[in-house]
Structure formats: C-alpha cells, structure tokens
Amino acid sequence: MKKCFAIAVAALTVFAACTKEGGVKTPSVSFETALPLTVDGASVLSIKVSDYSGSEAVTVPVTFAGDAEKDKDYTVSAEAFVIGGSEPVTSITVTPVVYGSKKSVTASLEVPEGFTAGSYVSCTFPLSDAVARCSFATKKATLGDRVAIEVNLIDNADKPYSVQNATTIAVEVDTEKSTAVEGTDFRFKDENKAVVFDAMSSTGKVEIEYIETEDNAGKLVVLKLVPDSKFELGQYAEVSVDLIGSYLTKLNGTWKINELKTTAESLEASMYYTTYNSKTFEECYAGFPEFNANDSFSFDFETGLFIPAFESTFKNYYIGESTFSLGDEIELPMDNNWPPTMMASKIVILDNVNRYFSDSEFSEDKEGYVAFSFSTDENGSELLYMMTIDFESHTFLKDELPSMYPTPLVKPYLGSFTDTFLIATFKRAE
C-alpha cells in the first residue's frame, strides 16, 4: 500500500512539472522540421507552436550564425517569427546571394518568456547549389522582322525545371562574334535584354527586332546567356542569329509547287557539251525530279525550321526538317538564251540535305545551298523561284556531272560554275 502511494505521488510531481497552476500546459515553440524545406533554391524555415491559445502578438527572434555571412552570402525575409496578432509571421526564407558557396547557416530560436523549447530550436543547413541549367532551345536562329528565341530551364535529372516566382536571366550581345550592331541593325523588343520566365514556368524567351537598313541583311548577331549563380549554363549558352531582313521574311509560310522549270529534257538540251557514251537518255536521267502537284515546303520562322513535303524525287535531296541560315546573294541564269536572263537570288543554307540526291546513299556532308528569288506570274501573282544549286548527284547524270565540277570543289558546286541546277516555281498555299 505504501508502494502504490509513492508511485501516485511521483506521477503527480511529474504532471505538476509540465503544467501551470490550474492544469494548463506550458506552450512550446520549435522549428517545424529538423531541416528547412528547399523551395526554388531558397531554404524555408517554419515555426511550430504547441498549446498556445493567446491572441496577443508574441515575437520569437531567430539568430543566424555559421560560416555563411548574413547579407553577404544570403538574405533573410525576416529575423523573427510572430505568433498571433494581426500580422503573424510563420515562415522565414533564407535566400542565397551566391549559390554553390558550400557555406552553411545555423538558425536558432530564442524561446520567449512563458514558452518552453520544443523539438527543434536550432538547425544547421547548407546554402543551395545552382538549381538548374539554362539553355537556348537552339544554337541557330534567323531574324526577319522579329524573332522570339526560346530558353529552357533543365534540372539535374534533365527534366524541365519550373521556377516558383517570375524570374529573369540576363542576355548579352557577344560583340566580338557579332557583325550586326545593336541599335543599328537590330534591337531588343521593349529594350528588354533578358529572358523572362513566368511563375511556374520552365520556358522563357528573348525577343529581338530587325532594323531596316541598306546593308544589314546577311549580318550576324550572337546572343549569350548571363545567369546569376542560381543557374548554370546548359547545352546552348549562346545562339547565332542570322539577319535575313524583310526580303526573306516573305518566305515564311507554306509554298506549293507551281511549275518545274528544269526538266530532264530541258537539261539535256542545254548540256550540248556532254557525251553519254553508250548510256541511253533514260539511264542518264533515272531519278531526275519530275513535276508532282503535291510537292510543297514550309518555312517556319517561329521555330527556325525549313520543313519539306516532297513526293517527287526532290525528297531524296530534301530529306527532313532543317534549320536554315542566310548565305550570299548570287545571280543565276533563268533561261538558255545568250546572253541569258539573270536573276538575283538569296542563298539559304540548310543543314539536313542528302547531297547525293539518292534514296540509297547518304552524304556525310548534310549542308546544302538553295537559292530563292521572288517574281510574279503573268497575272501579277507572287511567284517564288527555288533553285537547287548545290549537290553531288549519285543518281541522275551520275557520270556526267562530276566532270563539270571545278577542282577543288567549292560550294555551291553547281550554281557558281555551271548552268546545271534545278529550278522550280512555287505559289503560296491558300
């Protein structure tokens, strides 16, 4: 009986140590978790309050120490939590000034009078490393009237990284690599030299506009990303933008074939200096493109892609989507008269063609030159000339064409030195 009484007294003593008069528990304060949550590269400390029912504001100061220095290596959104009152503060954000510094912060609660310490009143955590890589979506682009160049954020698992809040990354012009001059040949839209990422987005863009002058078409501007330490540079830290100007912006859209000007018969007639030995006409011109009313192609200036859709054997040369850039201006003969009628054209360089013009052999060099020029038909309607001037045929005229190439070979192989190139006209698809 005495033993039971002693246990009961001990229990009452313990209970009394955890209560105030009247049986009310003493409130406690603590960090919510042993380590803060990391949100978009910042550390978020939250407070946990137990057994407090008061309405008056109570300040819970937080001290910061460690080898990282406040206001130099990091900033804090507040230096105290506030419990209750009209403006409570229940979280504090610690944001690195320099990401990846390898320094740590120790945050400690100062327990206010009338409260006890909870589970976590001190925690030590490292400042965040860079949270993502930023990269242009492409290494090449073209500037007609205006171009919006996409920039992506990618996390360490190579997946899209979405920022929590609106974010900007600076962009600079590489003046050593650029031949175009900012303010003379081009300008940033709204003078905004930055990529803007909306909240909860992993994709932003920077926009530049063409300034029309007499001689800036064909110039180059190289843009480079200049992130702060929160982001590292990704695959494409810079993008080369060809200024093609308003002349070639008319290429944007889809074009459907109107007429094949260079036929096998017309080419044979012009090649009076060629001998076929024992080969027949059919053998010489097997695989030569023939008119197909379904042939078409598109230029998409938003994505910077040339998109072929050929059903004739042109598909053996234009084998897939290409990025494109502007080449030189060239004058090409449009007929077999002497002197011939010459047409000034712009060369567009594609990066995904089969120079062998074959369905079974594929060239290692996939860069091809194609010339374009605008004219009108007899009714005054817009007409686009497309001249395939740069190829090494392994099908039609397989033995004849190599004898016409200059030595050493210089691009464009045919357009600059012979009349042996393919001309087709196109009209804008409705």
pLDDT at 14 over 50: no
Q: What is the pTM of this model?
A: 0.54
Q: What is the pLDDT of residues 41-85, one digit of tens each?
A: 999 999 999 999 888 899 999 999 999 999 999 999 999 999 999
Query: Which of the four pLDDT bands, split at 50, 70 and 90, describes residue 9?
Result: very low
Nearby residues of 407 by Cβ (< 8 Å), 6 or more positions away = none
Q: What is the pLDDT of residues 416-428, one digit of tens each?
A: 455 578 999 999 9
User: Where is average pLDDT lowest: 36-40, 107-111, 199-203, 407-411?
Assistant: 407-411
Integer Cα distance of 95 and 43 in angstroms? 7
Q: What is the pLDDT of residues 156-196, one digit of tens each?
A: 889 999 999 899 999 999 999 999 999 999 999 988 999 99
Query: Which of the four pLDDT bands, split at 50, 70 and 90, describes residue 304?
Result: confident
Pairing relationship of beta strands 322-333 and 342-350 according to DSSP bridges: antiparallel
Q: 362: which 2 tokens?
A: 């594929």
Mean pLDDT along residues 387-409 = 77
Task: Count other Cβ atoms within 10 Å, centred on residue 271.
Answer: 18
The pLDDT value given to residue 234: 94
Most confident of 20-29, 225-234, 282-291: 225-234
Nearby residues of 2 by Cβ (< 8 Å), 6 or more positions away = none
Mean pLDDT along residues 263-270 = 79
Integer Cα distance of 281 and 260 in angstroms? 19
